[in-house]
Amino acid sequence: MGTGDERELIFDPAFLTERQRAGRSCVVCHKSWPRPREDVGRLPDGARLYACRSCAAALPPAAPPPAGGWREAADTPPPDRRLAGEIPQQRCP
């Protein structure tokens, strides 16, 4: 991808409608008129996404990339939290 600002929101397209993915409606509230103009992030393929001014203000700021970069973070599996005791184990009756 490009070498632009790495601190931007990246949205999962599975949770967006076709109009949202095409940039024709707000990624938050789905409003399409007036057409959203605030550039709030992108899809993994690089397509830009837009939101209404009020919805854009409510979105969280983008997190900085991990120390090793996004590729390294994606290749590292998450820790098994069940082993750390964070998720209670359920037993069958």
C-alpha distances in angstroms, 13 versus 45, 76, 80, 90?
Answer: 10, 22, 27, 33
> To the nearest 5 percent, what fractions of the chain are helix, strand and coil?
20, 10, 70
Distance from C-alpha of 35 to C-alpha of 52, rounded to nearest angstrom: 8
The pTM score is 0.61
Which one is predicted more confidently, 40 or 69? 40
Enter the tokens of residue 78. Answer: 């998450």
Q: pLDDT: is 32 or 85 the higher one?
A: 32
Q: How confident is the model at residue 60 (pLDDT cuts 50, 70, 90)?
A: confident
Higher pLDDT, 61 or 50: 50
| Distance of alpha carbon 36 from alpha carbon 31, whole angstroms | 8
